[in-house]
Amino acid sequence: MKPGPSVPFDEFPYNSLHCKNCFIFRSSGDIWQNQKATKGNQEMKQGDIIVLEVNMDIVPRTVRLFINGVLQPVYMSGIPDSIQFYFHFKYTNESVTVLSLKRLSSPTDATVIGAKEVKWE
């Protein structure tokens, strides 16, 4: 595994210095990639169950977001063949619990009317 970007504690990952080789699902519902925001997903709130489904078996590779079991319309495509996950906290009392990492035999069969693709640049 090769190291990924390093974001200092007092900075934001979508700052121009750190956002070149990453994409971000923000709690506001935006997806950020290369300093471009795409709106359309619902806001994430405390207590929500967040699922990222990464499909590395198709071309282009995709990442889809589910919030409390509901597929969100904005997704990322064309992701690199090697990825890593990280979490950014705005306040010192915030936390996240990773419940599981799974390899699925097939992608979740779900579609969203008005889905919006954000292509990796």
Chain segment 57-109, per-residue pLDDT in tens: 999 999 999 999 999 999 999 999 988 887 777 778 888 888 888 888 888 88
Average pLDDT over every residue of 110-118 = 91
- Tell me the CB-side half-sphere exposure of residue 24, using CA atoms within 13 A: 24
pLDDT > 70: percent of the chain: 83
CB count within 10 Å of CB 29 equals 19
Question: pLDDT for 40-56, tens place per residue?
Answer: 999 999 899 999 999 99
Question: Does residue 9 have a pLDDT over 80?
Answer: no
